[in-house]
Amino acid sequence: MLAPLDRRFDPGHRGGLLILFTVVVSYVAGFIAIGSALSPVTWAILILLGAVHLGLAAMADRTFFFPATPIKVGFYLLLQTAICMIVQYIGQGYFWLMLMPLASTAAAILSRRAMAVFFVILVAAFVSPLHWDRPENAIQNSLIFASALVFVWIFTEVSVREHRIRRDVERLARELEEANMRLRESAVQAEELTRSRERNRLAREIHDSLGHYLTVVNVQLEAARALVENKGWKETAPDLYAVLEKAQTLTRNGLADVRRSVAALRADPMGEKPFLEAVKTLIADNQEAGLLVSYKPASPPRAASPQIELALYRILQEALTNVRKHARASRAEVLLDYREKSVHLEVRDNGVGFSHAENEEEKFGLRGIRERVELLKGTMEISVNPDGGVKLMVDLPFK
């Protein structure tokens, strides 16, 4: 009985206003045609029936159509048709406009077979009060009414089809946007996987080659120091012993740097820790290396995707490494701000800064930071403070 779900039509606010307008016009036309021919009591009955008709139309969306079932829809249409038929009969055939909204509703929500049956009922409701003393007039009026029904049916079909196409386009646009978002996330994950594999390879190379050789050199220097002490050369050749001790100290420092580099290059730099806890650990590690770092959370933390948190961690890690190794700074400030649509990371230092030309060349590992930011559709800004040092600002959108 009902049309497929994609042909369902919700008239909404505009449809309710159209029904009200049609009823009002119908009553005005009826009053102009036969106003004085009907008694006040008859007019009161007509107005009451019109109010009931409008009340049922106002409740149709919530009561009869959502969810729509054949029994509820059929009951509504037949009840409204009966009311209109009574009004049409009492009004001597001058209230036929009230049948048009019912025809539009039927064309929108019924199957074509059920709609054809209902249109026959509407024609009967129109014909019943006509005077057949002049059959040619009655037949002419019936043909005009049938033509109006066909026009309403075609117009409603076009409106329903346009409504369905617009809804499908909106649905496809949403699905396309979701697909693009998933594609961007997949691209980020693929890029990060590639980076992780490369970092793991570099970590193994550093550990197996440079780390191995530094360990061997450290052992040899320790043996040389022991030999100098055993031969009694520590007192006779103190400069030699000092040089060996300095070389061993530098070797140990190199091994420590190698361990930190390998740890920084591993696939899971945060070690399965929550993001903020991993940030605090990273700051503590830099403080142990001699850089005084202050951390300022500017707003309560919000949930962010793993890609954003990993990118923020890597950017902060690279920024602090640059400050420690290249900026000749003693102090750095880290600010993390969870804004409405993005996460803002800011790193400042009191180092020597760099020139505009160096900024253009993107030295000190800044190119890697910029690539991460661009991959997540974020923004990055670098500036030199007037009193010295560099300020790095990064914004990564949540979506």
Find the angle CA(242)-CA(248)-CA(254) to the nearest 5 degrees: 140
Q: Which residues make Cβ contacts (< 8 Å) with residue 110, sequence separation at least 6?
A: 1, 2, 3, 73, 77, 118
Q: How far apart are CA 79 and CA 75, in angstroms?
A: 6
Strands 292-297 and 331-338: parallel
Find the angle CA(43)-CA(48)-CA(52) to the nearest 5 degrees: 145
115-144: pLDDT as tens digits: 788 888 888 888 777 665 566 667 777 788
Of 27, 150, 25, 105, the C-alpha closest to 142 is 150
- Yes or no: say if 52 and 83 are a contact pair by the CB < 8 Å rule: yes
| pLDDT for the residue numbered 343 | 92
Q: How far apart are CA 310 and CA 104, in angstroms?
A: 57
Q: How far apart are CA 350 and CA 320, in angstroms?
A: 12
Per residue in 178-192, is it b (16+ CB within 10 Å) or e — as a string? eeeeeeeeeebeeeb
Indicate the CATH number for domain 269-399.
3.30.565.10
Q: How far apart are CA 106 and CA 73, in angstroms?
A: 9
63-114: pLDDT as tens digits: 777 776 788 888 888 888 888 888 888 888 788 888 888 888 888 887 778 8
Average pLDDT over residues 346-354: 84
Question: Phi and psi dihedrals of 396, rounded to 5?
Answer: -115, 120
383: alpha, beta or left? (left if phi > 0; alpha if psi -120 to 50): beta
| pLDDT for the residue numbered 207 | 64
| pLDDT for the residue numbered 132 | 55
pTM: 0.44
Instruction: Give percent of the chain above pLDDT 90.
Output: 8
Of 24, 7, 344, the C-alpha closest to 162 is 7
Cite the residue boundaries of each domain of the chain with CATH code 3.30.565.10.
269-399
Query: Residue 4's pLDDT band (boundaries 50, 70, 90)?
Result: very low
- Yes or no: say if 258 and 211 are a contact pair by the CB < 8 Å rule: yes
- Yes or no: say if 323 and 329 are a contact pair by the CB < 8 Å rule: yes
Query: Residue 307's pLDDT band (boundaries 50, 70, 90)?
Result: confident
Q: Which residues make Cβ contacts (< 8 Å) with residue 62, sequence separation at least 6?
A: none
3-state secondary structure of 23: helix
Whether 346 shows a pLDDT value over 90: the answer reads yes
- Calculate helix-pair angle for 238-265, 211-230, nearest 10 degrees: 160
Of 15, 10, 14, the C-alpha closest to 68 is 10
Q: How far apart are CA 262 and CA 337, in angstroms?
A: 29
